[in-house]
Structure 1
Amino acid sequence: MNHSEKIKRNEFLKNLGIKGAALLAVYCTGASLSSCQNESAITPDATGELLSIDLTSSAASPLKTVGGYIRQNNVVLARVSTTEYVAVTQTCSHEGRKEIMFTNNQFYCTAHGAVFNKAGVGQNSNGRAGIKVFKVSISGNMLTVTN
């Protein structure tokens, strides 16, 4: 490479920044991309319910054991003890990805390792912003999640 082909570092970084911002803008215009979506996708029905599930149904079978969880309607619903269920948003506060799961008695984002306790409080630097926890109620076999 001769001297005339060399690019100055500042010029390279400036070009990279502009191109990166343009790429991000194009990437986030795709409405179906989960990393660009936010919690506004969680919409309650007319009664204010985010999720309603019959605990005797096959869809709820993971909830029969402590540590089991389901992800439905942008909500992660976990059985945290023999008598308690906790529901949180599926969207991680770190980068807005819908990758929250429940493991080892805590909520965990598989994208970058953000960890949250059952109260939604972040347990590491990627989880420091916390996540939304929803109200869970049970009537008979019906479990309901509301804001």
Structure 2
Amino acid sequence: MDRKYFLNSIGMSAAAFALINCVGCKKTDGSSSTDTTGPTGVNFTLDLSRAANAALLSNGGSLVSNGVIVAKTMVGAYIAVQRSCTHESYTLIYQSANSRFYCSNHGATFSENGAVTNGPPSHSLTVYNTQLKGNTLKVYS
């Protein structure tokens, strides 16, 4: 095998490996890239006295339930938005210190009211209503 053929083979193998890995790592939540809207018919409750929901007892805490990010803002208000970015459905992260939702894939950001604050998304997040009664937080459309 000559040197040119050998180097060409290694380059093609590396390119194929990179392509296969990129296709496989796109999303971790199993949603399709065309599903950029939030779930519809949302209507669930969270018992804040349960350990599984303890993150919502502290300002800045958040959790994901039923395809929705539920968060307690730094000022103590409960908010809820769709879990996935409106650009390509990557999972969002609530960044309480910055009062925003962040997509680590393309750097998109959304305000706490769901508005796009940094592209590439062109439309806002679906926002859900929240209502606290005692230790029960209701999240609904």
Common fold by TM > 0.5: yes
In structure 2, the CA distance between the partners of 1:128 and 1:37, relative to structure 1 (3 Å rule), is closer
Out of 91, 107, 110, which is 2:104 matched to? Answer: 110
Contact in 2 for aligned 1:69/1:77 (Cα 8 Å): yes
- Aligned-residue RMSD, C-alpha: 2.3
Matched, 1:100 2:100: no
Cα distance in 2 for residues equivalent to 1:110 and 1:38: 18
Out of 39, 55, 58, which is 1:62 matched to? Answer: 55
Q: Percent identity?
A: 29
Look up the equivalent residue of 2:94 and give its one-letter code. Answer: F
Look up the equivalent residue of 2:117 and give its one-letter code. Answer: Q
The normalised TM-score by structure 2 is 0.70
Query: Which stretch shifts more, 124-133 or 83-92?
Result: 124-133
Q: CA deviation at 1:120?
A: 0.5
Contact in 1 for aligned 2:101/2:111 (Cα 8 Å): yes
What is the aligned length? 112
Q: Unpaired segments of 5 or more residues in structure 1?
A: 1-26
Cα distance in 1 for residues equivalent to 2:58 and 2:112: 17
Structure 1 residues 1-147: aligned runs within 5 Å: 33-36=30-33, 38=35, 42-44=39-41, 49=43, 51-97=44-90, 99-103=91-95, 104-147=98-141
Look up the equivalent residue of 1:61 and give its one-letter code. Answer: A
Contact in 2 for aligned 1:39/1:89 (Cα 8 Å): no
Q: Whose relative contact order is higher, 1 or 2, with alpha carbons under 8 Å and at least 6 apart?
A: 2
Q: CA deviation at 1:37?
A: 5.7
Contact in 2 for aligned 1:66/1:81 (Cα 8 Å): yes
Q: CA deviation at 1:57?
A: 0.8
Give every structure 1 segment of 4 or more consecutive aligned residues whose post-TM-superposition deviation is greater than 3 Å: none
Contact in 2 for aligned 1:116/1:127 (Cα 8 Å): no
In structure 2, the CA distance between the partners of 1:144 and 1:39, relative to structure 1 (3 Å rule), is farther
The normalised TM-score by structure 1 is 0.67
Contact in 2 for aligned 1:107/1:118 (Cα 8 Å): yes
Q: Unpaired segments of 5 or more residues in structure 2?
A: 1-23
